[in-house]
Amino acid sequence: MSSNDVAVIGVGMHPWGKWGRNFVEYGVHAARAALKDAGVPWRDVQFISGAATMRCGYPGYVAGATFAQALGWQGAEVNTSYAACASGSQALAAARAKILSGACEVALVIGSDTTPKGFLAPAKGYRPDDPDWVRFYIGITNPTYFALYARRRMDLYGATEEDFAAVKVKNAEQGFTNPNARYRKKFTMEEVLGSAMVADPLRLFQICATSDGAAAIVLCSAAYAKKLGKSTAPRIAAISTVTPKYASGEVEMPDIATDSAAIAEAHSFRAALAKKAYEEAGVSPKDVSLAEVYDLSSALELDWMEYIGLCQPGEAEHMLRAGDTKIGGRVPVNPSGGLACFGEAVPAQALAQVCELTWQLRGEAGDRQVQNAKVGITANQGLFGHGSSVILTK
Amino acid sequence: MSSKPQVPAIEGWYTLDKNQPHLIGTQCTTCHTYFFPRQNLFCKNPDCDGSEFTEVQLSRTGTIWSYTNACYKPPEPFVAAEPFVPYTIAAVELDKEKMIVLGQVISGVDVSQLKVGMKMELVLDTLHEDAESEKVIWKWQPIDAAKKVGDAK
């Protein structure tokens, strides 16, 4: 570990589920678990960084302070980040920057959410200026977008409904023993393909649910890690939170139209997220031992494999069919079970991905362990041009 | 179609020409890039600081980027018929502007009749009705099917 590194010395989660309790309770549970894992007393934390939630009232908008107060005001500096599904990564990036600048040595990052049932819906009223309102008004929900990506793979690359179901079967198998996963049930191809069609070609068991859950991470400077006897802790090699580049050529939630590529060239946002992370970390896709990607739908995992460079466009189905992406394969994808087993707890999800990388790089992932894991990458994306990719190295 | 007056579901986003409707966008007078929904205040091209726009009617034809359907009733503000009738959705890249626009596909066309790369055209159709009027919105229709649908009527 070099003196400029930032180490992950503690991780903790509150199990995902539909518990229906206050998000602060889950956040405190995860934070205490992460502090205990790190061996750092709460009083020693100098910076607390919260990922905001928009569904839990004012305390959710000021999540950093809400968690600081719940853990007991002790005078730490505070930050709250909101970036839709990438909120956790931005909260992590704020803490890492604080440490890298020398302004603090040890920081705690927390994301937690309590989610409503059913489709996520926009704010009320007649609001045609809000693209999120417009798309729901004309009947375009989140699964619409996932299904558009999936159908395009079928027409362009020959992907099949069985391929998409196989991703679900794989992830369910991998998350089966994960104590923090919400859905711990093995699925057969028949069960997945027999579930109700939601947005052709995607069925109910291939679309991620919304969940309650929390994840927390303690990170610190190399010097602080050494002092604690944790010099071998995984380090954060990169956090990419780049915006799209104009013209953004991908159909993205919540927009009903892409940028025009008639004058400006079209760019791929999701590929750019990982590209920046690889450049910052100084590693390439060939170095990756495992990946945690945002499988909002089972089919989307195949897109992500290409966006993070594990294979060329159109080759993800071949990797899947060859068993390359299951635990024991060449590059396991979503060994945690992914969103298929968790459901999405928006501000906690990007942090949960980093928790999994940490356990994997430490060799503490139990039944899910990826052998000889040295480099892990996450990929995540949310509404309004947000996304993230984090690389952890041993 | 009911006998109620037809009004746009979203005012000013498309022309109300029954035969040849167009989406209404804007074009930056400095860099000439297109916007839909319309952009009137500042150009979103990072290499352009333009702030003047002309209103343009966008191409009403394009090719399918992808397609799907909605088997479940979406939440509000969507206004669903009772009982809910599933509908098809297409993302179509406009010929001239090279932007992909989402929309419902006219009823009677299901996903098995669509394919990436297929030619589509813009039509106006009912999104929902209330007591006073029928709210019309843009929808996509396969160009090959246009004649057949016309004959059927």
Q: pLDDT tens across A185-220, in order?
A: 999 999 999 999 999 999 999 999 999 999 999 999
Total domains, chain A = 2
- Residue whose tokens read 């939601």: A198
Answer whether B34 sits within 8 Å of A136, measured CB to CB.
no
Same domain, A229 and A242: no
pLDDT of residue B153: 40
Position A126 in a domain: no
Per-residue pLDDT of chain B (153 residues; tens, 9 = 90+): 568 999 999 999 999 999 999 999 999 999 999 999 999 999 999 999 999 999 999 999 999 999 999 999 999 999 998 899 999 999 999 999 999 999 999 999 999 999 999 999 999 999 999 999 999 999 999 997 655 544 444
Model pLDDT, residue B151: 46
**Contact by Cβ (8 Å): B36, B99:** yes
What pLDDT is recorded for position B150?
45
As to burial, measured by CB atoms within 10 angstroms (0-12 exposed, 13-18 middle, 19+ buried), residue A70 is middle
The tokens of A191 are what?
Answer: 């069960």
Q: Is residue A125 part of a domain?
A: no
CB atoms A141 and B115 under 8 Å: no
User: Above 90 in pLDDT, residue A318?
Assistant: yes
Judge if A256 and A295 occupy the same domain. Answer: yes
Alpha carbons B28 and B48: distance in angstroms, whole number: 9
Q: What's the average model confidence in pLDDT over A347-353?
A: 98
Average pLDDT over residues A165-181: 98
Residue A19 resides in a domain:
yes
Say yes or no to pLDDT of A167 above 70. yes
Taking only Cα atoms into account, the Rg of chain B, rounded to an integer number of angstroms, comes to 17
Residue A93 lies in a domain: yes
Q: Contacts of residue B69 in chain A, CB cutoff 8 Å?
A: 147, 199-200
Q: State CA A194 to chain mean position distance.
A: 28
CA distance A195 to chain B (A): 13
Mean pLDDT of chain A: 96
Strand partners, B35: B26
Q: Per residue, what are the HEC states of A38-93?
A: HCCCHHHCCEEEEECCCCCCHHHHCHHHHHHHHHCCCCCEEEEECECECHHHHHHH
- Cα gap A246→B99, rounded to integer Å: 12
Q: Which of 15-54 (A) contact B at CB < 8 A?
A: none
Closest CA to A99 of A257, A201, A243, A236: A236
Strand A212-221, strand A106-113: pairing: antiparallel
What are the two backbone dihedrals, phi and then psi, of residue A259, each rounded to the nearest 5 degrees? -65, 155
In a domain, A251, yes or no: yes
Asked if A164 contacts A201 with a C-beta cutoff of 8 angstroms, the reply is yes
Asked if A290 and A346 sit in the same domain, the reply is yes
Alpha-carbon torsion (A35, A36, A40, A43), positive or negative:
positive
> In the prediction, which pLDDT does B137 show?
97
- Specify which residues B138 forms β-bridges with: B124
pLDDT at A374 > cutoff 90: yes
Q: Is A67 inside a domain boundary?
A: yes
Cα angle, residue A125 at apex, residues A121 and A130 outer, rounded to 5°: 65
Task: For residue A42, name the pLDDT band (cuts at 50, 70, 90).
Answer: very high
Question: Is residue A224 domain-shared with residue A263, that is, in the same domain?
Answer: no
Same-domain check for residues A245 and A222: no
- For residue A268, count other CB atoms closer than 10 A to its CB: 16
**Residue whose C-alpha is closest to residue A265's, from A251, A244, A248:** A248
Find, among A217, A123, A201, the residue nearest to A162 by Cα. Answer: A201
In-domain check, residue A42: yes
Query: What is the DSSP-derived secondary structure letter of residue A244?
Result: P
Which pair of structure tokens corresponds to residue B48? 């352009």
Asked if A13 and A109 sit in the same domain, the reply is yes
Is A200 found in the same domain as A93? no
Q: Which residue has the tokens 């859905």?
A: A183
Q: Does pLDDT of A330 surpass 70?
A: yes
The verdict on A158 and A268 lying in the same domain is yes
| 0.90 surpassed by pTM | yes
Same domain, A218 and A202: no
Q: Which residue has the tokens 């503690």?
A: A10
Q: Return residues 231-290 of A near B (CB < 8 Å).
A: 245-247, 249, 251, 256-264, 266
- CB burial of residue A63 (10 Å; 0-12, 13-18, 19+): buried
CATH number of the domain enclosing A63: 3.40.47.10
Q: Which residue does chain A place closest to B69, by CA atoms? A: A199
Q: What percent of chain A has pLDDT over 70?
A: 99
Distance of CA A154 to the CA centre of its chain: 25
A184 and A317 together in one domain? yes
Distance (Å) from the C-alpha of residue A166 to the closest C-alpha of chain B?
20
Domain carrying residue A67: 6-118+212-234
The mean per-residue pLDDT over the stretch A27-45 comes to 98
Whether residue A143 is contained in a domain is answered as yes
A195 and A303 both lie in a single domain: yes
Q: What is the pLDDT of residue A145?
A: 96
Per the listing, tokens 């299904």 go with: A147
Token pair recorded at residue B46: 């990072």
Q: Are residues A337 and A385 in the same domain?
A: yes
Which of the four pLDDT bands, split at 50, 70 and 90, describes residue A302? very high
Q: Name the token pair of A135.
A: 């798309």
A246-255, A272-281, A327-336: which has the minimum mean pLDDT? A246-255
Kindly report, residue by residue over A74-130, the tens digit of the pLDDT: 999 999 999 999 999 999 999 999 999 999 999 999 999 999 876 667 778 888 888
| CA pair distance A136, B78, nearest whole angstrom | 6
